[in-house]
Amino acid sequence: MTPETTLVQWLREARRVLVFCGAGISAESGIPTFRGAGGLWEGHRIEDVATPEGFARDPVLVWQFDAARQHALPTVSPNPAHEMLAAMERHYPAFLLVTQNVDDLHERAGSRDAIHLHGSLDEVRCTLCGRQRPLGSPPSLADVRRGVLPHCACGGLERPGVVWFGEMLNPTHLRSIEKFIETGWNDGPAFLVLVIGTSGVVGGDYGIHSLPAALGARVVEINPEETLLSSEVDLAVRAPAGALLGRVWPEVGSAEHPAAR
Ligand code: OAD
């Protein structure tokens, strides 16, 4: 059996599916990943544009970085990987999508309950009163360059709604993930974890793949490259996620899930 045919079989046998995504899933939509040649971190210093200290030092630089990403969103579209994950959410009796991505491509593909572990480019939060709101339209790049930044009704400076290095993850998100994993304690190999398009440099320690593995879940990596997590998975499918899922899922998802009969 090839890795791809094994994946098809495991997707058919699964009842509980947990997906953990990174930037690679949006690569085929034209959004650059963070690491590697041409990645976002090649042209930007993390400490300048993705830390609380960087924002305190130079909020204009941070807003320039994120406003550029916000303006790019309407120019890209979900790819088959986002679409197939939305279809999986409808198919499986128990399904949770956890993404490290701050783009909105999962929602635009139809996912309803994706957990955005690293926040979202669609939101802003007041640095004074803490009020969170949907961004609506992003600030113009010309305004941001001139130092005209989004402000809250209370007068406080707003910050992008993304999680920066050194910040805590949302505890409500962590509890939802824990609960989903714990509930699968008895599912054995019918518990399937798909780790898609992440290097594992940041999310590798979150436990999202390793806790289910300790319960007996099957863990699959979908990534054209080997990663820090590759040695911890049961199956590695070395392919771009959009092309692979666009091929594989229609073979599985056309059938009604046995648990629904
Ligand atoms: P990385 O840039 O670290 O890794 C992207 C991964 O996607 C790599 O392993 C690539 O091989 C893989 N990849 C590329 N094209 C792919 C494709 N078509 N299909 C599948 N995989 C593909 O991005 P993340 O792991 O998401 O955090 O990075 C995690 C976090 O680090 C980000 O959320 C961000 C970053 O710093 C914050 O900003 C807090």
**How confident is the model over 27-50, as pLDDT tens digits?**
999 999 999 888 988 888 999 999
Of 19, 82, 100, 115, the one to substitute when testing ligand 1's pocket (max ligand atoms within 8 A of C-beta) is 100
What percent of the chain shows pLDDT beyond 90?
93
Mean pLDDT, residues 20-24: 98
> Residue 219: which CATH number?
3.40.50.1220
| Cβ(207) – ligand 1 distance below 6 Å | no
CA 198 / ligand 1 centre spacing (Å): 4
Q: Same domain for 130 and 246?
A: no
- Contact criterion met (CB below 8 Å) for 25 and 199: no
- Contact criterion met (CB below 8 Å) for 17 and 94: yes
CA 20 / ligand 1 centre spacing (Å): 11
pTM of the model: 0.96
- Contact criterion met (CB below 8 Å) for 120 and 161: yes
Residue type present at position 29: S
- What's the full length of the chain, in residues? 261
Residue nearest to atom 7 of ligand 1 (CA): 24
Q: Supply the pLDDT for residue 258.
A: 62
Q: Is the pLDDT of residue 188 over 70?
A: yes
Residues designated catalytic? 118
Q: Same domain for 47 and 128?
A: yes
**Total count of domains within the chain:** 2
Q: Same domain for 256 and 205?
A: yes
Q: Supply the pLDDT for residue 36.
A: 83
Q: Same domain for 66 and 82?
A: no
- Integer CA distances (angstroms), 178 to 14, 98, 119, in order: 19, 12, 18
Q: Same domain for 54 and 126?
A: yes
Q: What's the gap between Cα 47 and its chain centre?
A: 21
For 37-46, 110-119, 176-185, 252-261, which range has the lowest pLDDT when averaged over its residues? 252-261
Q: Same domain for 16 and 67?
A: no
Q: Same domain for 109 and 71?
A: no
Domain of 202 in residue numbering reads as: 3-31+77-118+169-260
